[in-house]
Amino acid sequence: MTAVLNSKLLEFDGHLARLERSLKELSIAMPVSAAQLKAIHEELIQKNNLVEGGIYLQISRGNAGDRDFAFPDAEVKPTLVLFTQARPVINHPNAAKGIKVVTMPDIRWHRRDIKTVGLLAPCLAKEYAHANDADDAFLVENGFITEGSSSNAYIVLADNTVVTRPLSNDILHGITRKSLLLLAERDGIKVEERLFTPDEAYHAKEAFISSATTFVWPVVSIDGKPVGDGKPGPVAQRLREIYLEIAKKETA
């Protein structure tokens, strides 16, 4: 999903680079050139009068005929699908009030760095969260939080250091995550990329998530326990503020 602000694409180049990497890892050819793909995005924005929201993109290997787990011998043309979603991204209520999360086991496959359409586990995680009076889930593997159901996860220590899991095959390499970490260091906010446990998250000063269309949403409770004072914290709010400053300039 690529965010759209003021009818313009946000961080398209980052999403394109991750798409190309994911396709390479799966041995799927790009069905169109990078320039053509951007033009398609821009045409969709215009045709749908999209001012704020996002554009979802999906590429599959193509029609191979008979059902078979092996890649097709014959050359097939990948299928490209895109659609727009109008939604508030700047003034979303969750950005102001924060969200509640619960922890649950991470049951996903071990190439989460590849952005795929295998979304059964994230759907189950989101449903588990809703069934337990929460908005989302923090996924846990081997005693450590990996990420949210569709977001990267962060905590803030007492000295305002931001902690998030380092890049590996265990998490999606978030485009917003990359920008936030650069902006944090530029703003004088210390960042540590390391593993962290649910217990450390329970006792953190703050917690928050990031994704392409949430940008930064504070987390105010985990497993029913308030994070900090149970309200959105200043570090998360500051990161959202400086991210939006850049985003608005890029899409002005």
Catalytic positions, please?
115
Residue 59, strand partner residues: 80
C-alpha 122/C-alpha 119 separation (Å) is 5
The two structure tokens encoding residue 246: 């850049």
Enumerate residues 6+ apart whose C-beta is below 8 A from 1: 54, 55, 56, 57, 85, 211, 212, 213
CB 25 within 8 A of CB 36: no
Kindly give the pairing relationship between strand 206-211 and strand 225-226.
Answer: unpaired
Enumerate residues 6+ apart whose C-beta is below 8 A from 144: 165, 195, 196, 197
The two structure tokens encoding residue 146: 């990996």
Handedness of CA 110, 112, 118, 124 (dihedral sign): positive
Per DSSP, 70 falls in state S
The gap from C-alpha 10 to its chain's centroid, in whole angstroms, comes to: 14
User: 3-state DSSP call for residue 68?
Assistant: coil
